[in-house]
Structure 1
């Protein structure tokens, strides 16, 4: 009986956010984020989130201290990895769920992100990423987006537009010439590669990270023309 209880997820916090219910669970040693009953991510691995950041940097043209916009704070792997790399310049993270930000600043997820949040290069923006890329006057050298399970599996319906031609055009608008768009996905999407090419991105490709079971995680990459 004790083992069964230990193996069951324990809800550490549950809140009604602007887009529905979000919960933070602990399952053994893992922390998990659940949105409206849908599993989003956990702290089990982080390889693909780190690849998201590294692949974006590698696709740049060697410019000094490039500015990166990270879409989605999540469990903090992407932010922590970017902040651990002194080559990045300003690091801006857009996160729409106040609870997620709070779990990083004052809760259990601080074990991953505390150092990154204390980095003077880091700025956390509370807001919707789709609205941000449509409204900001700022520009970046890299966009690393991880707000859904992929272009075909969005957390909320209004995120679909981000992966459509108009959404990709908005992403291109906030990228400096030669800047890189990197999009995380729970599975490779040849259709999305085609949409990126049709939107004008160059050097479009997909990098994959094998997982224990099922299809690999993927990072879709494209470069805004110079």
Structure 2
């Protein structure tokens, strides 16, 4: 993807941690900040369009009469989704589940704080340090929307343990934390017709895929489904 930044040849490692799920690295590449997990590129600060669409798609799909809807965001990442949600007055509560303590620390006191400090100071925001799969299986809380951005998509997970989240059982757990007519929105680096079928087979309705054009290659997408009322 082309960007307006001048990119030097070699990135600079700002921090490297051994976390509960392996190595997590924060790098600076020119003006970009990048997160790498176990050698796999996760995301950078070059373009937050798809993360914003993830939140917008969930909000737009909600009942317009829903008062103070709540959103659960799976994955803090570089903070685009959180910052965008906090910039929308309609959300009544914003909960972010992030399993890597290093990423949370980079947002609270590190280089990523400039992207998320306003959102973190918002009284509607709560950060939960926990694995999302564990959270959706154990929490007693429910939400109007669930936005998933913890992998590169259903077909390209960060680690094998995440694959179950996109299975029928995993999607049943996602539906469990959604209120009736709640929205599930899943970011992916490429379209996945097979995942659309899995969503329908798991009972989600009004399943659709919204594309985010990119400069080269296949578009990013957001898969959307509605929990039955």
TM-score, length basis structure 2: 0.96
CA distance in 2, matches of 1:208, 1:17: 33
For 2:43 and 2:90, locate their aligned partners in 1 and report how far apart those are by CA, in whole Å. 27
Instruction: Write out per-residue CA displacement over residues 66-123 of structure 1, whole angstroms, 9 at most, x where no aligned residue.
Output: 0000000000000000000010011000000000000000001011100000000000
SS in 2 for 1:7: coil
What's 2:30 paired with? Answer: 28
Q: CA deviation at 1:64?
A: 1.3
Q: 2:134 aligns with which of 131, 134, 140?
A: 131
The answer to whether 1:79 aligns with 2:82 is: yes
Match of 1:185 in 2: 188
Partner of 1:207: 210
Superposition CA RMSD, Å: 1.1
1:48 to 47, 50, 56: 50
SS of residue matched to 2:154 = coil
- Counterpart-to-counterpart distance in 1, 2:10 and 2:121: 33
**TM superposition outliers: structure 1 runs of 4+ over 4 Å:** none
User: Any gaps of 5 or more consecutive residues in structure 1?
Assistant: none
After TM superposition, give the deviation of residue 8 of structure 1 in Å: 1.4
Instruction: Kindly state the Cα deviation for residue 209 of structure 1 after the two structures are TM-superposed.
Output: 0.4
CA distance in 1, matches of 2:178, 2:39: 34
Unaligned runs of 5+ residues in structure 2 are 1-6
Give 1:217 shift: 0.4
Shift of 1:6: 4.1
| In 2: Cα distance, 1:160 partner to 1:130 partner | 10
- Give 1:7 deviation, angstroms: 3.3
Corresponding residue SS for 1:131: helix
Q: Count how many residue pairs are aligned between Structure 1 and Structure 2.
A: 223
Matched, 1:91 2:91: no
User: In the TM superposition, what are the counterparts of 1:134-153 in structure 2 within 5 Å?
Assistant: 134-153=137-156
Deviations 1:3-62 (A, max 9, x none): xx9431000000001111000000000000000111000000000000000000000011
Q: TM-score, normalised by structure 1?
A: 0.97
Q: Take 1:161 and 1:65, find their aligned partners in 2: how far apart are those partners?
A: 31
Tell me the equivalent position of 1:223: 226
Quote the Cα distance in structure 2 between the aligned partners of 1:111 and 1:161. Answer: 34
Alignment-derived partner of residue 59 in structure 1: 61
In structure 1, what is the Cα distance between the partners aligned to 2:40 and 2:159?
A: 11
Q: Secondary structure at the match of 1:107?
A: coil
In the alignment, structure 1 residue 11 sits paired with structure 2 residue 13: yes
**How far is 1:156 from its partner?**
1.0
Match of 1:155 in 2: 158
Distance (Å, rounded) in 2 between the aligned partners of 1:225 and 1:72:
25
Query: Counterpart in 1 of 2:3?
Result: none
